[in-house]
Amino acid sequence: MKRLFILAYILASVCPVGAAIHMPRFFSDNMVLQREQPIRIWGKAARGERVRVQFNGAEAVAKADRAGRWEAVLPAMAAESEPRTMIVTGRDHTLRFENVLVGDVWLCSGQSNMEWRLDLTAGYEEELAVLANPNIRLLSVGDKIAFEEQEDINDGTWVVSSPETSGSFSGVGYYFGKFIEAETGVPVGLIDSSWGGTDIETWTSWSTMQQFSPFSDSVGKSFVDAYASGSSILRHYLHALGDDIGDRERWYDPKVCRGLEGWSAYEVPKGWYGELEAVDGIVWFRRYIELPASASGSPAALRIPGVDDSDSTYVNGVLVGSTNLWNEERNYEIPAGTLHPGRNLLVIRVNDYSGLGGIYGDPDAFCLEIGQTRYPLAGQWEYRPSTTILAKYNKSQPNSFASLLYNGMIAPLVGYGIKGVIWYQGENNVSQAQNYRKLFPAMIRDWRGKWGYDFPFCWVQLANYMGAEVLPGESEWAELREAQNATLSLPATGQAVITDIGDPGDIHPRNKRDVGYRLSRAALNVAYGRDDVAAGGPAYRSMERDGSRCVLTFDTTGALRPADGNRFGYLRGFSIAGADRRFVWARSYVLDENRIVVFSDEVDNPEAVRYGWANNPFDDDLTDASGLLASPFRTDDWPGITQ
């Protein structure tokens, strides 16, 4: 069902006048504070008020500035599994946060595969018995779209992991935290800030997105102009909705309507088309109907098959009915004495909240009934817009503009100490994989810059998905994986390759346990300095030609080998091409610890080799002693198919 999008993002966090101390929601009972770094605590109070923060034997005092903002910084602390109490005291008000631990905080973000609930994953029933763990704490950030950086999250407080609390949390996040806590013995706090079906652009701050000038909106305005104007346009529209000029000037009144110019012809019933197709908001429709003298004394009703979304309907200036449902037929009884012989005015005020709009339905059902007589109303009416907005500025979707989710769901968290980030996103950007090569590292730098330090950042490479290809060829998904792989050039980054555990028929594979486990391996290596834990499988290094064969060298953990135990007698997933750039399936064998040979009888002079280059690289099996698959790769730099 369509609904009016109430724009919470136009509301800034404001500290009410008074002596109360206000703090963001994520400062709550059961929270985990990041160990081994100064601990920032902040909020709002009365101007000039002194605020004292006490925790774990330490104390810090802050003074609220002219805007009421204050920030106290506690010294860095070692991990602490013993629950503590934090006390925040102002002039006349005290806040207490109970059951607080010190450990490692990981921010979990991305789109639906990160958002996917634990209780919808494979193996959840078996996991129920071990969900109760006081050393694992969970915070789910409420969805929020915002044109401006927010000071607080929309919803969410910390909870202790248990069968009652964990089922609705991110499956990937939970399993990652479980394995990290088991390996380190340190309390783990997990913050899930994710939203399904979202682009990377919406998770990146506007200060960074402004660097990408090639982006433009659907009507050709520059991306910068579109974003800059979006907030003010939206604000003006919302204000105007509450004071519609048509209501104020009484466009439904026959005396006013008679002298009102600017009406245009329109066929009704019919969804909005022409100039109305691109707008949402309030549009008035009118029609005059001639009635005989006998019409004035009989019961009458107005039958409207449908209005998308809501209507207020008038007959000769009298409101006969209003409905706020887009999928409901209107049957309005007309009060006696409203109709009269001669010319009568019908006015329908339509308010389209979003998407399709207008008067719609069966033309034969659109009529005025007077006694036993039906007067058809389908045909030419007139319309006049009053309060409208271009629909592209009125969408409740997080991808409508860049930075909307950064503003609403990441910016409020900036400053809360974290160990690092895990990220699962990219499905929404596969058709722009070449841009992702720039956008993904830019977002990582962006977040690190906002927090002020280069925290570890680990992500999930896209899983195998869709049907297997009969012949090798180009692939958007492969290009997106390549963009993800290239981002490993940034320091303190890690990647979990999962092209062997996806589901060809489901973009949301249910095995999140292994995804969390592989992410934890990458994090143990990257964030915790565990050289004994391999962050990933073999990584392609270089290629040399040897006649009709290509020899590829890899960085490995131990010796190269087929993941399937060499059941087929050769490595699978490789294709090869010559100067014609026509790829064919290839044979490949392990030469020694870190080299393989690739060839095909169909290619005498090979120039390029690809591995796992498909939407669903179902047969990839190159691994090493780590037991993890090599990431899909290519040796060529020929133009791809994405932008």
CA distance 89 to 51: 6
Residue 376 included in any domain: yes
639 alpha carbon, distance to own chain's centre: 29
**In a 3-state reduction of DSSP, which class is residue 72?**
strand
Per-residue pLDDT band for 312 (boundaries 50, 70, 90) equals: very high
Mean pLDDT on 603-626: 95
pLDDT tens digits, residue range 507-522?
A: 999 999 999 999 999 9
Q: What is the mean pLDDT of residues 191-220?
A: 78
Rounded-to-integer distance, Cα 288 and Cα 304, Å: 16
Q: Omega before 254 cis (within 30°)? A: no
Q: Which of 529, 610, 626 is nearest to 577 (CA)?
A: 610
Last residue of a domain, one of 391, 418, 434: 391
- pLDDT tens by residue, 69-118: 999 999 999 999 999 999 999 999 999 999 999 999 999 999 999 999 99
Q: What are phi and psi of 236, to 5 degrees?
A: -60, -45
Q: Structural domain of residue 571, as residue ranges?
A: 539-634
Closest CA to 240 of 386, 356, 351: 386
**Pair type for strands 493-496 and 457-460:** parallel
The pLDDT score that the predictor gives to residue 390 is 74
- Evaluate whether 62 touches 99 at the Cβ level (below 8 Å): no
Place of tokens 């249910």: 510
CB 442 within 8 A of CB 211: yes
Find out whether 576 and 584 touch, Cβ atoms under 8 Å.
yes
For position 215, what pLDDT does the model report?
44
pLDDT at 295: 82
| Higher per-residue confidence, 562 vs 260 | 562
* Amino acid found at 627: G
Number of structural domains found in the chain: 2
d(CA 444, CA 493): 10
On whether residue 612 sits in a domain, the answer given is: yes
> Considering the domain boundaries, does residue 222 fall inside one?
no
What CATH number does residue 306 fall under? 2.60.120.260
Confidence of residue 454 (pLDDT cuts 50, 70, 90): very high
Among the listed residues 474, 444, 480, 445, the one whose alpha carbon sits nearest the alpha carbon of residue 461: 480
Q: Determine which of 259-273, 533-547, 548-562 has the lowest per-residue pLDDT on average.
A: 259-273
Amino acid 145: pLDDT: 86
Between 356 and 464, the more confident residue is: 464
Choosing from 370, 391, 412, the residue where a domain stops is 391
- Do the domain assignments include residue 181? no
Three-state secondary structure call for residue 457: strand
Check whether 258 has a pLDDT greater than 70: yes
Classify residue 426: in a domain, yes or no.
no
Of 358, 391, 424, the residue at which a domain comes to its end is: 391
In a domain, 641, yes or no: no
**What's the pLDDT at 4?**
35
Task: Tell me, yes or no, whether 360 lies in a domain.
Answer: yes
Q: Is residue 513 part of a domain?
A: no
